[in-house]
Copies of this chain bind each other. A is one copy, B any other.
């Protein structure tokens, strides 16, 4: 075992860390106080700078324009980017685009890669992923109402989606729709590429979430598909593979969220410690001398270290073996890290007192917006049940084997 980060990576991480602190921290207030739309011009500038530094879209292979980082390496980078609410966006490895790039790389044919992946990886367009439906549980991806029916050489798509995040301003959506209702439930749906300009594709609402409808990338849209017609060549991967592709997208997607959350934890930890030193509750009595605060700092440090090691080990397992071999680890970090993050944010806010609930720090933004992390891509409970069942199955087999022996 070796817990050392390779020197090459340390160098890269140093560059990223420095950029995030020097360039991104100062512009956060625009994003936090004025919203995505007002921040977009300066974010575009930053994306340009990152591209010039050769660090754009670092998570994908060099032949697609990235740095070809391993999952573990991207995890380390991501933990730096996550320190700022705009970090991933500026490096073009933000959800939902990064997930869409991954499935286009794996399942897209050459034409699809040319048309959709290339501009996405270059940061020229944005995209969205249209799976969850308001009338069906997001935690059960085998049960949905949207259909895609073949008509001539086209699919005709009908249905309602929500939490199609970032749909406003996106060039295309990857839509999950039932193509064969009679098939076994894991084979009913397919993934289809739908340019957002297609007639019948309508953003019916930007769902107000935690107080905001948001703009552009920072939206959660409700989308209506009404006789929305696209050529069958827009099918991504095999027909019926919608569930499988969704899982493959979500697996690494979950670890990507976890990596980002480590960054959030670290920034919250920084802010908490700095505030504890600077804020006096009486002359020459900084918060830092209070045992309550010291307790939170120690507990947070322990939990963040734990979270970080678990995420890196899961990433390492994917790199060395496969995402499937890391299934348990991914489920475990999905709920463990999300909960650590919420606890650390909560403590950091408490240390900040009134300032903690203002938008003068990113803490309040994360507190309200990252709460969703315990829900999307499988709520805590779904992952707990899933991993427990697999573990119990293995004990069951061992006990059976022992009994049979």
Q: Do B291 and A385 have beta carbons less than 8 Å apart?
A: yes
* B contact residues around A290 at 8 Å (CB): 291, 381
- In chain A, positions 226-284 with a C-beta closer than 8 Å to chain B are 270, 273-274, 276-283
Q: Is A376 an interface residue (CB 8 A)?
A: yes
CB-nearest residue of chain B to A331: B298
Q: Which residues from 288 to 346 on chain A have a C-beta closer than 8 Å to any C-beta of chain B?
A: 288, 290-295, 297-299, 301-303, 305-307, 309-310, 312-313, 316-317, 320, 328-329, 331-333, 335-336
A364 at interface, CB cutoff 8 A: yes
| Known A211-B212, A282-B140; contact A371-B379, beta-carbon cutoff 8 A | no
A side interface size, CB within 8 A = 99
Cα of A356 to Cα of B209 in the assembled complex, Å: 9
Q: How far, in whole Å, are A33 and B208 apart by their CA atoms in the complex?
A: 7
Contact of A3 with B316 in the complex, beta carbons under 8 Å: yes
* B residues in contact with A383, CB < 8 Å: 298
Docked CA distance A387–B137 (Å): 26
Contacts A209-B364, A395-B274, A399-B277 known; A336 to B306 CB distance under 8 Å?
A: yes
Contact partner, A273, options B163, B301, B307, B395, Cβ 8 Å: B395
**This chain: copies in complex:** 4
A332 touches B302 (CB 8 A): yes
Check A391/B297 contact, CB under 8 A, given A210-B359, A290-B291, A368-B211. Answer: yes
Name which residue of chain B comes closest to A365, CB basis: B211
Kindly state the separation between the CA atoms of A392 and B272 in the bound complex, as whole angstroms: 10
- Report the separation of the CA atoms of residues A92 and B317 in the bound assembly, to the nearest whole angstrom: 35
Q: Is A388 an interface residue (CB 8 A)?
A: yes
Q: Does A223 contact B (CB under 8 A)?
A: no
**Are the C-beta atoms of A294 and B388 separated by less than 8 Å?**
yes
What chain B residues lie within 8 Å of A118 (beta carbons)? none
Q: Which of B292, B358, B371, B391 contacts A207 (CB 8 A)?
A: B358
* B210 with A280: CB separation less than 8 A: no
CB contacts (< 8 Å) of A152 on chain B: these are none
Asked if A217 is at the interface of the complex by the 8 Å CB criterion, the answer is: no
> Which residues of chain B are near A89, meaning CB under 8 Å?
none
A-B contact pairs, 20 of them (CB 8 A): A1-B72, A3-B312, A33-B208, A134-B355, A138-B354, A210-B357, A211-B364, A273-B395, A277-B399, A291-B291, A294-B384, A298-B391, A301-B387, A303-B336, A305-B329, A349-B375, A357-B372, A364-B368, A367-B371, A368-B368
